[in-house]
Amino acid sequence: MDPRLRQLLKACNKGDFSLCNSLVLADPDILLSTTPHKNNCLHIATMLGHHEFAREVWSRAPSLFSGTNVDGETPLIAALMAANLSLASDIVTAATQKCNPELLRSLLTHAEQDYTAVDVNGNHAVNYVYEQEDSWKTLKWVMNES
């Protein structure tokens, strides 16, 4: 594996953007890299609940909002599946503010699919979200925002 990608993945896993800041300054496109499963660094940050790392990433590469992994999941669905509702809500808000209209349309098209998509366990994103306290209210807010 490319050592630069290894460093980026280490930063993603730790949620520490300072570990990859010099990489990003030297080559901003490194943020567009993906794992063999096609997860980008925004997928990873949302899965692990690294809010600040995710914010740094999307502020530099908003196109990652609409990136899909091999399972067709966007970072939004990754956040929902991790029951990280505040980050899911932040993704919707940031995408609305940062994205150009075509990219936002793409994100929302995926979001609509994400809410109805079934994972390998036969669960919808709603199943994961509903397990959390006060999550139904938040899910309705996220869905209304998108």
Rg of the chain in Å (alpha carbons): 15
CB 36 within 8 A of CB 30: no
Place of tokens 């280490």: 10
Encoded tokens for 112: 């609509």
pLDDT score at 60:
92
pLDDT score at 127:
53
Residues 6+ apart with CB under 8 A from 140: none
Arithmetic mean of pLDDT over the chain: 77
**What domains lie within the chain, and their CATH numbers?**
3-145 (1.25.40.20)
pLDDT per position as a tens digit, 70-99: 988 889 888 888 888 888 888 877 877 766
CB 121 within 8 A of CB 132: no
pLDDT score at 146:
46
Average pLDDT over residues 106-119: 56
Average pLDDT over residues 106-135: 54
Length of the chain: 146
Helix, strand, coil distribution of the chain in percent, nearest 5: 70, 5, 25
More confident residue, 69 or 143: 69
